[in-house]
Amino acid sequence: MSDSGSEPVESIAKALFGEVPTIVNTQAADRQKKPAKSKSGRPRKTRNTSSRSPTPPPPVWGSQYRPSSVKEKKYTAEIPMWDSPMTRSSFGPQPLKHSSKSNTPSPIIQVKEDEEDLSILDIKPEPDVPPHVDTMADLVYTKTGSVRLTDQNVELRKVVQHGILEVKAYIVFTHGYLKIVAKNSYAREILLQAVKHHETVPIEKRILMLVLASSTLKSRTSPINIPQATFDSAVTTFDTEGLPSPKRQKPYQGQPIVDTLYETFFKNSKSVGLQFAQRFLDIAENKTGQPEIPIPMLAMVSTAIHAVLIAKKNKAGEDFKFTGNQFCDIYTYHVALLERIRRMAPVKFHKMMADIYEEVQHFCRDAIGVYGTDTDLAFLDLEGMDDE
């Protein structure tokens, strides 16, 4: 140990030139202070290899280098020590991050968030959607709680009228009597198609959200209304019970059927017979290729006539309205009868349906150009009236 005191200053400077690590293993230092003992219990003498070398070995990063001489200790005490990024351990103490216990952001960040929240809430409607269009989906009820189509706004009337036309087309060309669940689902789909056709988004949202609104609109798709004058002016034979007797050679070709078909499906330009005129020609299978009346349309009209005659027999009065729900069996009977006629005599069946369509078209032309079919002017003698 005494040899270390004669070491040159340059070797000490070189030894101190390296950075001294701050982490010191106290146990390793204690082992260096305590000399090793032999088996006899006496301390062993160790050779100081560093004193024989011209310069002390450079410090190894991460090792526990301690100066051995008094001068090295003096210089070591005078030189400030710091941590080097190369010697810092990943498991050592990390710098503290100031954070509040409530984990709330700083006031500056909070103000920024408040500004962002205000900007998000300040959303204006798109320019192409006026802010007042939502009122078009509102239904106007009467004092009794019913809904009249004439009381609604223009957009809602267009949607309902379009829906009524589509439902009528389905009734007369496909099937007149749906089951309750299927009927409600179909009517709802028809209304959705109508609002998409007219591009009325608020009404579409209301129908999708409110079941009550859609069911109320579906109730406006009222079925056939048959005027009483149709039966008063009809020429037919009646039996003792007051019900009409069918014509055996010309079934379903009586005047009440032709009049009801015209009044219900062919009277004006918005009727099903004129809006879907091509469908009558698509189902034609007769020899001449003339348009034909579809089976659901003829069965529905026959059912409605049967219902009105029953109501007249029972003296129900003007309060009776044909809704069709209570006459499903009658409708099924007529459909089955017409299907049997088509299977047993297809040629005669298609000729009969084409004749019925032609009779309705004759009635349409006569109603437009001739006064003879007008019940209000039937009692007048227009030819015998004075011209001047």
Higher pLDDT, 366 or 250: 250
Same domain? 11 vs 52: yes
What is the pLDDT confidence band of residue 370, given thresholds at 50, 70 and 90?
very low
* CA 235 from centroid of its chain's CA atoms: 54
Instruction: Please give the pLDDT value at position 308.
Output: 81
Task: Share the mean pLDDT of the chain.
Answer: 65
360 and 238 assigned to the same domain = yes
- Residue 341 — pLDDT band, cuts 50, 70, 90? very high
The pLDDT tens digits for 13-26 are 555 555 555 444 44
Give the whole-angstrom CA distance, residue 68 versus residue 32: 10
Q: Clarify whether residues 71 and 139 are in a common domain.
A: no
Burial environment of residue 360 by CB neighbours within 10 A (0 to 12, 13 to 18, 19 or more): buried
Instruction: Count up the domains in the chain and report the number.
Output: 3
- Residues 164 and 236 occupy one common structural domain: no
For residue 269, pLDDT over 50 is answered with yes
pLDDT above 90 coverage of the chain, percent: 9
Q: Is the pLDDT score of 335 beyond 60?
A: yes
In a shared domain, residues 74 and 140: no
Residue 87 lies in a domain: no
pLDDT band with cut points at 50, 70 and 90 for residue 62 = very low
Residue 39 lies in a domain: yes
Say what the pLDDT of residue 6 is: 54
CA-based torsion, 364, 368, 372, 378: positive or negative? positive
Final residue belonging to a domain, choices 174, 195, 219: 219
pLDDT reported for residue 327: 82
Same domain, 254 and 361: yes
Q: 270 and 150, same structural domain?
A: no
Query: Do 291 and 311 belong together in one domain?
Result: yes
The reported pLDDT for the residue numbered 343 is 92
Looking at residues 294-299, what average pLDDT do you find? 92
User: 């069911």: which residue's tokens?
Assistant: 215
Nearest Cα to Cα of residue 62 among 16, 14, 21, 15: 21
Instruction: Say how far apart CA 256 and CA 260 lie, in whole Å.
Output: 6
Alpha-carbon span 166 to 158, nearest angstrom: 12
For residues 101-124, give the mean pLDDT.
Answer: 44
**Residue 66: pLDDT over 70:** no
Is pLDDT above 70 for 310? yes
- Which of the two residues, 124 and 345, has the higher pLDDT score? 345
Q: Cβ neighbours of residue 11 under 8 Å, at least 6 residues apart?
A: 54, 55, 56
Are residues 214 and 251 located together in one domain of the fold? Answer: no
* C-beta of residue 298 within 8 angstroms of C-beta of residue 356: yes
Residue 248 and residue 354 in one domain: yes
Whether residue 1 has pLDDT greater than 60? no
Q: Which structural domain, as residue segments, surrounds residue 203?
A: 133-219
